[in-house]
Homo-oligomer: A and B are copies of this chain.
Amino acid sequence: MLRQSLTAFFAASLLMAAPLAGVEGKWTPRQVLELDPAWLKELGLQMPPEKLWDPNRGTGLLSAAVNIGGCSAGFVSETGLILTNHHCLFGVLQEHSTAQRDLMTHGFLARSPQEELRGRTTRVTVPRRFTDVTKAVLSAVPAGAADLARWEAIEKKQKELVAECEKKPGARCRVAAFDGGVEYVLIESFELDDVRLVYAPPRAIGEYGGEVDNWMWPRHTGDFAVARAYKDGKPYRPEFWFPISRAGVKPGDFVMVLGYPGRTVRSLTAAEMALQRDGFFALRARIYGEWIRLLEESTKDSRDGSIAVAGTLKSLNNVVKNAQGQMAGLARGRIIERQEQQENEVLAWAAQRPEWKPAIDARRELVELAARRRATALRDFLLQSVASGPVALRHAAQLVRLAAERAKPDMEREAQYMERRLPQLKARLERDQKSFYRPADEALLRSWLRHALSLPAGARIRAVDERFRSGSLDDAVARLYAGTRVTDLAERMKMFGETLDQLRARRDSMLDLALALEPELRAFDRAGREHEGAISRLRPVWRRAVAAHAGKPVAPDANGTLRVSFAHVKGYSPREAVEYLPQTTLAGMIEKHTGEEPFALPKALLEAAAKTEPVKVPLNFLADADTTGGNSGSPTVNGRGELVGLNFDRVWENVANDFGYNPAIARNVNADIRFFLWLLEHVDHAGSLLRELGVQDR
């Protein structure tokens, strides 16, 4: 069925005069094997699809596309070298930077393996096996279970499957739900926890254009970095890695983008999409936008402060610009209106077919759920941001939750507080000290509290009301920080081992706030689980009707699992009378150089550029790949599986493709491997690294 409909789609696209139209779909490894090989060949694939993935052996070229802390990455040598984005390894640069040795600014090159810098929390996950466990999961749900019970049953079954799977030595497993539970897949991977930074360019190259150019085209960013995975203290030797192409790409060339797209929401109903917009993106834009200003103001006179909040700022800026783009894209593409229209068509179709009545009911219930959640959107957003906002409150809340969870048997704990995850949590609680700068943190907490105090009746936070409703908020926050030792690294690490009673006995102001918030955070989590239970009950019923009405299968929403997108190097028209060509070069990078951040190139690069023909050094390129957040660092490979670049962004017009794919503007931004090679050779003189990558004679 899949094969047939895609062939039909392809035949239709052949009728068009232009080059191949964009191909929607983040395909799973299994789907790749179900696609018509002739169609893939026509697109540009120059190898048998089985070379991408062999489900029996649990390996193939796709196993060279790995996950690295929320980013994607690719093995590029038999000696465990991994290529990913500069911004994906930025945390390691930050971790090893000091006021005296500012690696973020100056970049880093290990001249020998001894110089490589280990990232304390950096992990690489390599995929090994994908097993459909839908039946097993659903049969664990008791008949007539309420939504919370349903969620708990699914969760328990998933944990069991994961525990069983992880009995294999070195295995890391998860169960991933596709489109809310149309399918559940057990994914077996293995983790490499010794990852060391080998190379990163100066920030002025790796982030060239900064926030000004972020999400933009034309782009001129050298968003590359290299790490090496170790196993048992020795360089890890992957079975597959991507050879590096020196030939590069030209307009029209076929490419594949391999990686771990995080989350898309194309399977939501229109009402849920509208809630995403108003109750999520709009709040992100407003509140995180405020936090960006607060962080900038509170650190403007402090070098230490600026270094401390650099990572947070970077991520907030990214998130806010994304939120704005999502909203603009939703409006411009009329995506929600179109989804609603499509829904109405499905409803009309289902209304004439009694066997699909449950789908009509499921969709109505989904819409009602969204309406109810709308009323508490701001409170939910604030409670959610306890886990990502002011560092001190986040730590206090984590310590309280940890103490509470540790009192339970391991299998009954929340996933992130299970024993296997605790070393990571502990490392994060340590590493976060680098991101803590008290004036900035106080400013964020004041803002968080002010918003909490503004909540409407019926959706307020009692712990905040009780403590902060009267008196000066500034004074209250100052007292909070004066009365806590959570912000003290050594003391915090002691707290890591303490029970709830011990934490209470400390009479620590921030812990006390977290203790007071804990019941409300629990209730919020519980409501979330209940909601997820409802979704797992309703979404599959509705989505199966949508698929049946469409008469053809579609790639599922992104969920952090390995996917492949088929694409071509291609420009686009962002607006009337403007055409974007798909490639930029070093010449354009130099044209943008003003000497002022974020357009201040290092002298070494300018000098090297002066000795070459900059227009002959390709730098970034566009393709019409179907990507989203999490695809950062994805290997972009040609039809022979050779690496030609790294995905590192989408264009602004395409940000809302999380809600729907539009071939006219669906463009991802790739860093061209030829710039990376030029940089290593002519600016960094990194001969031995180039030899290891197989692109320089030994």
Contact = CB atoms under 8 A, between A and B. Distances in A.
A585 B588 CA distance: 30
Interface string A573-593: 001111111111101100100
Contact of A577 (B575, B577, B580): B580
Contact of A581 (B217, B578, B588): B578
A571 B588 CA distance: 19
Nearest to A581: B577
Contact of A218 (B577, B583, B585): B577
B577 A588 contact: yes
Contact of A576 (B575, B576, B579, B587): B587
A608 B34 CA distance: 51
Contacts of A582: 577
Nearest to A219: B577
Contacts of A218: 575-578
A238 to B, nearest CB: 35
B577 A217 contact: yes
Interface in A644-695: none
Contacts of A575: 218, 588, 591
Contacts of A571: 577
A591 B576 contact: yes
Interface in A562-621: 571, 575-585, 587-588, 591
A334 to B, nearest CB: 12
Interface residues of A, number: 17
Contacts of A576: 218, 584-585, 587-588, 591
Interface string A189-208: 00000000000000000000
A389 B571 CA distance: 48
Nearest to A585: B576
Contacts of A580: 577-579
A576 B583 CA distance: 9
A220 to B, nearest CB: 8
A552 to B, nearest CB: 32
Contacts of A587: 576
A636 to B, nearest CB: 18
Most buried by B among A577, A579, A583, A591: A577
A218 B577 CA distance: 6
A281 to B, nearest CB: 18
A581 B584 CA distance: 19
Interface in A207-223: 217-218
A580 B575 CA distance: 10
Nearest to A574: B578
A208 to B, nearest CB: 14
A584 B576 CA distance: 7
A575 B585 CA distance: 11
Contacts of A577: 217-218, 571, 580-584, 588
A257 B661 CA distance: 45
Nearest to A583: B577
A621 to B, nearest CB: 9
A668 to B, nearest CB: 15
Interface centre among A571, A579, A584, A587 (most CB of B within 10 A): A579
Interface string A622-651: 000000000000000000000000000000
A591 B588 CA distance: 29
A664 to B, nearest CB: 13
A591 B577 CA distance: 12
Contacts of A585: 576
Contacts of A588: 575-577
A426 B335 CA distance: 60
Contacts of A581: 577-579
A551 to B, nearest CB: 33
Nearest to A328: B594
Contacts of A579: 578-581
A581 to B, nearest CB: 4
A662 to B, nearest CB: 15
A588 to B, nearest CB: 3
Nearest to A332: B591
Contacts of A583: 577
Contacts of A584: 576-577
A591 B575 CA distance: 8
A573 to B, nearest CB: 9
A694 to B, nearest CB: 30
A622 to B, nearest CB: 9
Nearest to A592: B575
A582 B580 CA distance: 14
Nearest to A589: B576
Nearest to A615: B576
A578 B574 CA distance: 10
A24 to B, nearest CB: 24
Nearest to A586: B576
Shortest beta-carbon contacts, A-B, top 5:
A576-B588, A218-B577, A579-B579, A577-B581, A577-B584
Given A577-B583, A579-B581, 17 more contacts: A217-B577, A218-B575, A218-B576, A218-B577, A218-B578, A571-B577, A575-B588, A576-B584, A576-B585, A576-B588, A576-B591, A577-B581, A577-B582, A577-B584, A578-B580, A578-B581, A579-B579
5 contacts: A217-B577, A575-B588, A576-B585, A577-B581, A577-B584
